[in-house]
Amino acid sequence: MTSQYRLKTPLSSEELGKLKIGDKVLLSGKIYTARDAAHKRLVQLIKEGKGLPIELEGQAIYYVGPTPPKPGQVIGSAGPTTSERMDPYAPFLLDRGLKAMIGKGQRNKEVINAIVRNEAVYFAATGGVGALLAKAIKTSRVVAYEELGAEAIRELEVEDFPLIVAIDTQGRNLYEEGVSQYCLP
């Protein structure tokens, strides 16, 4: 049986520990966007012992490269991108306080281990509905790596951004357990 929660960033291990795979979450507050090019730069800064351009503690990163906004819009279509491209970098960010990642698709074992180790979660956003997801985004501004265009790091203010818990703090994985529940023997 799934539950529905309303959460606001910054996120804590205590509140994330209540979530189970399949739970619905309406997320509000500040989140960041970043894809593989930005992740690579963030990890390089970490390895060099330098400061990051964003605060990771208790935050969520949404794997998205939004399209340009039309006149009067805050942001264009903002659907999730495939998460596995961020897998080489995600454990570094989780170990430095990141509490949630938002994307679509499976994660590798190292990422799942880092999720468990850091009492974090992986949320799935529904692919193919980027225009609808954009309606939950109230503000958008580039905060780092503007030269990356759509892949720049943005700070988004979201209100009731709809998500599903795909990997919970215990490492339970909806992409594995969900399949076993719905596939024929």
The active-site residue out of 22, 34, 36, 39 is 39
Burial label for 14, CB within 10 Å (0-12, 13-18, 19+), is: exposed
Q: Cα-flanking dihedrals φ and ψ of residue 129, to 5°? A: -125, 40
| Integer Cα distance of 87 and 107 in angstroms | 7
39 catalytic residue (yes or no): yes
- Cα–Cα distances in angstroms (integers) from residue 170 to residues 6, 11, 99, 156, 181, in the given order: 20, 16, 13, 28, 19
**Active-site residue set:** 39
